[in-house]
Amino acid sequence: MEKGLPLLSFLSALRSQFSVNGEEGPKYGFDGNRYHYGDGTSVASQNSTQILTGYDTLDVGPNYDFYANTNAQGRVRRSRPSLFQLHSNIEEDSCPPPLYEETNTGRAPGDSSEDDVEEPQSEPTRFGWVKGVMIRCMLNIWGVILYLRLPWITAQAGIGLTWVIILLSSCITGITGLSTSAIATNGRVKGGGTYFLISRSLGPELGGSIGLIFAFANAVAVAMHTVGFAETVQALMEESGASIVDPINDIRIIGVITVTCLLAISLAGMEWEAKAQVLFFFVILVSFANYIVGTIIPATPQKQAKGFFSYQADIFAENFVPGWRGPEGNFFGMFSIFFPSATGILAGANISGDLKDPTVAIPRGTLMAIFWTTLSYLIIAATIDASGVMNDTLAVSSADSCQGLACQYGWDFTNCITNRTCTYGLSNQYQSMSLVSGFAPLITAGIFGATLSSALACLVSAPKVFQCLCKDNLYPVIGFFGKGNGKNDEPIRGYVLAYIIAVCFVLIAELNTIAPIISNFFLCSYALINFSCFHASITNSPGWRPSFRFYSKWMSLLGAVVSVIIMFLLTWWAALIAIGIVIFLLGYVLYKRPSVNWGSSVQAGSYNMALSYCVSLNQVDDHIKNYRPQCLVLTGPPSCRPALVDFVGTFTKNLSLMICGNVVTVSYHLESSSNSHVIWLNKRQIKSFYHGVVANDLRTGVKMLLQGAGLGRIRPNVLLTGFKRDWRKDKPSCIDNYIGILHDAFDLQYGVCVLRMREGLDMFRQAQTHVNPGFEASPERGVNTCVPPAPPANFSLDPDAMVTEPQPQPSTVFQSQQGKKTIDVYWLFDDGGLTLLLPYLLTRKKRWARCKVRVFVGGDTQRKEEQRKDVRRFEDLIGPYRLNTAQKDGHVTAEQLNQDCPWMVSDEEIETNKPKTLRQIRLNEVLQDYSRDAAIIFVTMPVGRRGQCPSALYMAWLETLSRDLRPPVLLVRGNQENVLTFYCQ
């Protein structure tokens, strides 16, 4: 690949060179139902021993369609062959494996059902960079401020500071334009404009809030430009002596009528709106030419009487400095009024869905529009001020007391200057450009064109942005406005909403009041666009590779900071309102957590931070005061054992690590998709990871989890599992595997916990029978087997199809308020303190806070008769696993029998472990007496010595210890290392 060539451009170039099913493509493929050659014949019909060589291969070259995440209308999605297809041995008449890599679709990407093929629709209207972006942006920038406020701002601030205001605004918009260009060229841009760019970069939290604010700001901008148009019409009516009601109400009436007409044009479709914009653009260019000609030709006596004397150096010098007047007479007051004129730079980006190639059109059109409009503003600010400052009366200067520069040109304006009653001049009349021009009606036409075009562009932009936001379903109720109509998917409902908002602000009828309101909203949008570019750059994500190279992350950061500073310098209370709205909407999205994933830079930043902190933890030694029980929970699919998940999640939430482990033991070695399990955990509000492994048997898989789960210091140190209730009915080898897992955990220095509940833990469903259920038998499978049944006939090999339906969220006892019950702790042996630490952590949670912790260290010893009965019951438990006389006298030695059947119990082993056996029997009696009404019971778990305590005997201990108890019982054994502190240093 040529250096610097963007990936998307490279793939686009390859698009025409490679084809999956074309004549020049591979001669071997898959149509969704069978393997076939390029001529359409099935693979099964060919000689199965034929060797594919050269181009006779299923593998294909690069293709743009393989990387797109959307499907073109009228054809089936094309995808590359999967690694499974390329790597595995394809046999005749065998059920084909999944052929395509995992995609974001709801089913296997290789599916080619009839539903995927849509009827071809008429091609919607698309625009290039000139008509779609540059002209639209220039028209939006050449708005009401240019004609009706720039001369007045120049009179207030002077030419010098007016240039500063123009250049400062252009710097902010220029930096924002560069940032927008970078974001827009970092991938496929769809409809939604500014909202789409920010949300796909920073994520839904900030993207959603700024989408609402930006759409609202554009709707208010419609009112601003419309009021400017209405002011001009009202001024013309006043010159003619006509009036509807009074000046202020005339502006309101004209404004409402105008917005209604613009709504009609918008509803007619983008094609009509684009034609209207071209017409307005032509009218503005003619008015500019007329203005320039007017500044060059000599001034007539009528113009001189109103203060225009053509180009004069002394007038230019005097008007170069400020002449502040009124309460708005300051730099930032003028800046707040002027800045909305520069906010049109996103007009083209806001219709990104209607552009032929947004990645080319947005950068080129936006930056060209900024350049030409900035130049035009600077020229007009310099030339309009050559017209003089104040004037009023037609009189030849003859007195020595004449004041002002007009005296040098034969005019005396002393009286109106002294009394401040002048009605003409830049400071007194908003229509000064008409005076300067060669033909005043053309300036009026330009005002009409500029105001109406800008209002029309904003009226189109607001619904387009809002529609994209509505379709993402980030906020409630607003989805009603996301529906589109016609081939361009026009947001009719959005147009009506924008119209209502615009009419409400038109009723204010005061341009200088409306302009500062929207300045802060636009500045807030620009700050987030620049921050999006900066944040995406510093995260060093491989996904950030814009083809537009003329941007700087530090300039983007500067643009974001300056935008925020100017917000407060303009109107501090409006800035606080804008930021408050952003924070409120941000908090709402963070609380709701919408199920969207756009690969935002926030995700990349989170990864960088997590990686950095994990690496830094390697440099810090473990300390007992920072010990946290980091739990590996053998849940299988988490939805199978919700009680186990809820219990562990209770004391690990916001405190320590929790990993739900699953071992898949199906013969075709396919790991279950983690996505559905994570969704289930998130919906249940359990803060946990999911880790699935594929192994030949359960114990091997758990060994893999014990040794491989976690990262660095963030790795499990406690193993939690459910109690194997069916151990007496299951195969003895399964019992040995279960106890072997506990031994493996001890060998790896894990603490071990076993949870037993009277009603059991498992909740199996047909869709999950392919997963090893672990330690409790499901109703669907036989109790005497360790291997799960074969998959059902309709079982899919697609990982995402394994658990496609949403899993239910059953309630468990650990989700309920526990009230004033007790948490009974039987701390029988010093295991390092884990037996005592876990109940303490439980009481820190709200549901368990009212429970009282009781710690037991001994019991009554005066119940010998009951103990004899319990001993006989224990002997019945291990009876089927005793070595009988026939086995001893046979040809098989005891050593061989222990090696082949380690679960069998000899008389010697029973006698050796008799004290421990009696201890478990007696402890169960104590539990029955004192802990019947407890909320939960914690008991130190006995440890069976490897090689001397058969697995059946150990299992009988656990059974005897925890049987016939109503409360949940957690058998706990630490790894004999301290987890409690009794000191502060």
Q: Answer yes or no: are the C-beta atoms of 473 and 466 closer than 8 Å.
A: no
Query: So what's the pLDDT on residue 252?
Result: 92
Written as one string, the DSSP assignment of 680-714 is HHHHTT---EEEEEE-SSHHHHHHHHHHHSSBTTB
Output the DSSP codes for 811-867. --GGGS--TT-EEEEE--S-SSSHHHHHHHHHHTSGGGTTPEEEEE-------HHHH
408: in domain: no
pLDDT at 864: 52
pLDDT of residue 129: 86
Euclidean distance between CA atoms 534 and 179, whole angstroms: 8
Say if residues 623 and 979 touch (Cβ distance below 8 Å): no
Residue 547 predicted with pLDDT over 60? yes
Mean pLDDT of 279-297: 86
Q: How many helices (H) and strands (E) does the chain have?
A: 33, 13
**pLDDT of res. 938:** 94
For residue 792, the model assigns a pLDDT of 37
Long-range interactions of 679-685: CB distance < 8 A, separation 24+: 679/595, 679/806, 680/638, 680/639, 680/807, 680/809, 681/638, 681/645, 682/593, 683/809, 684/642, 684/645, 684/646, 684/809
* Residue 865 included in any domain: yes
Q: If you average pLDDT over residues 216-232, what whole number do you get?
A: 86
Output the average pLDDT for the chain: 75
Are 739 and 824 part of one and the same domain? no
Continuous segment of H or E residues that includes residue 940: strand 936-940
In a domain, 797, yes or no: no
| Residue in the block written with tokens 């007047």 | 325
Cβ count within 10 A of residue 466: 28
Q: Show the tokens assigned to 582.
A: 């952003």
Average pLDDT over residues 492-521: 84
Distances (CA, A) of 528 to 179, 205, 768: 10, 12, 45
Contact between residue 707 and residue 741 where contact means Cβ atoms under 8 Å apart:
no
The better pLDDT of the pair 515, 942 is held by: 942
What does the alpha-carbon distance between residue 921 and residue 873 come to, in Å, rounded to a whole number?
10
Residue 667 lies in a domain: yes
Q: How far apart are CA 645 and CA 875, in angstroms?
A: 34
Residue 593 makes CB contacts below 8 A (sequence gap 6+) with 682
CB atoms within 10 A of CB 45: 11
Question: Between the ranges 242-256, 268-282, 867-881, where is the mean pLDDT highest?
Answer: 242-256
Residues 6+ apart with CB under 8 A from 192: 199, 211, 352, 353, 464, 465, 467, 468, 469
Say how many CA atoms lie within 13 Å of 705 toward its Cβ: 35
**DSSP symbol at 719:** E
Please tell me the total count of domains within the chain: 3
d(CA 799, CA 233): 67
State residue 330's pLDDT score.
82
Query: pLDDT exceeding 90 applies to what percent of the chain?
Result: 13
Quick one: average pLDDT of 570-593? 83
Q: Greatest CA span in the chain, whole angstroms?
A: 145
**Whether residues 645 and 529 fall in one domain:** no
734 and 841 belong to one structural domain: no
Q: Which domain holds residue 934?
A: 818-885+895-973
Say whether both 573 and 652 belong to one domain: no
Q: Is the pLDDT confidence value at 896 over 90?
A: no
Tell me what the mean pLDDT of segment 331-345 comes to. Answer: 80
Q: Flag whether pLDDT at 303 surpasses 90.
A: no
Nearest residue to 30 via CA among 128, 93, 99, 105: 99
249 and 142 in a common domain: yes
What CATH number does residue 576 fall under? Answer: 1.20.1740.10
State the amino acid at position 817 in one-letter form: Q
The token duo for 931 is: 């802990």
Dig out the tokens for 38 from the structure: 């390029």
Q: Please, which pLDDT band fits residue 772 given cuts at 50, 70 and 90?
A: very low
* Residue 658 and residue 531 share a domain: no
Instruction: State pLDDT tens for residues 934-976.
Output: 999 999 988 888 877 888 888 888 888 888 889 999 999 988 8
pLDDT tens-digit profile of 742-755?
999 999 989 999 99
**Whole-number Cα distances in Å, 332 to 165, 203, 225, 311:** 9, 33, 21, 29
Residue 38 lies in a domain: no
CB atoms within 10 A of CB 880: 12
Q: Which residues pair with 696 in a beta bridge?
A: none
Q: Which of 573, 592, 611 is the last residue of a domain?
A: 592
Specify the range with the lowest mean pLDDT, choosing from 122-126, 484-488, 812-816. 122-126
Could you give the percent of the chain with pLDDT greater than 70?
70
Last residue of a domain, one of 575, 592, 609: 592
**Cα-Cα-Cα-Cα dihedral of 281, 282, 287, 289, to 10°?**
120
Position 228 in a domain: yes
HEC per residue, 37-86: ECCCCEHHHCCCCCCCCCCCCCCCCCCHHHCCCCCCCCCCCCCCECHHHH
Task: Determine how many CB atoms are found less than 10 A away from the CB of residue 580.
Answer: 10
Question: For residues 684 and 687, what is the distance between their CA atoms, to the nearest angstrom?
Answer: 9
Task: Supply the DSSP string of 228-258, one letter for each residue.
Answer: HHHHHHHHHHHHTT--SS-HHHHHHHHHHHH
837 with 733, same domain: the answer is no
Query: Residue 716 pLDDT > 90, yes or no?
Result: yes
- Tell me, yes or no, whether 630 and 586 share the same domain: no
Six token digits for residue 975: 């790894």
The SS3 call for residue 23 is: coil
Amino acid present at 298: P
172 lies in some domain: yes
Same domain, 930 and 879: yes
Which span out of 27-36, 125-134, 814-823 was modeled with the highest average pLDDT?
Answer: 814-823
pLDDT recorded at residue 939: 92
Contact, 247 vs 234, CB < 8 A?
yes
pLDDT per residue over 355-369, tens digit each?
888 888 888 999 999
Instruction: Determine the length of the chain.
Output: 985
Strand 689-694 to 658-664 pairing: parallel
Please give the DSSP secondary-structure letter assigned to residue 479: G
Looking at the fold, whether 271 and 355 belong to one and the same domain comes out as yes
Q: Which of 242, 238, 285, 269 is nearest to 135 (CA)?
A: 285
Instruction: Look at 645 and 1; give whichever has higher pLDDT.
Output: 645
**938 with 835: CB under 8 angstroms?**
yes
Query: Model pTM greater than 0.85?
Result: no
Instruction: Evaluate if residue 800 carries a pLDDT over 70.
Output: no
**Do 637 and 575 fall into the same domain?**
no
For residues 828 and 834, give the distance between their C-alpha atoms in angstroms, rounded to a whole number.
Answer: 12
Q: How far apart are the first and last CA of the chain?
A: 60
Query: Kindly report the CA angle at 600 between 598 and 603, in degrees rounded to 5?
Result: 115
Contact of 566 with 523, CB cutoff 8 Å: yes
Judge whether residue 902 has pLDDT over 80.
Answer: no
Distances (CA, A) of 322 to 92, 152, 162, 432: 88, 12, 9, 18
Inform me whether the pLDDT recorded for 14 exceeds 70.
no
636 and 573 in a common domain: no
Domain boundary among 733, 756, 779: 756
Average confidence (pLDDT) over 793-816: 57
Which CATH number covers residue 702? 3.40.50.620
In which band, very low, low, confident or very high, does the pLDDT at 801 lie, cut at 50, 70 and 90? Answer: very low
Tell me if 459 is assigned to some domain.
yes
Where do we find the tokens 């909203």?
521
Where do we find the tokens 């803060």?
A: 687
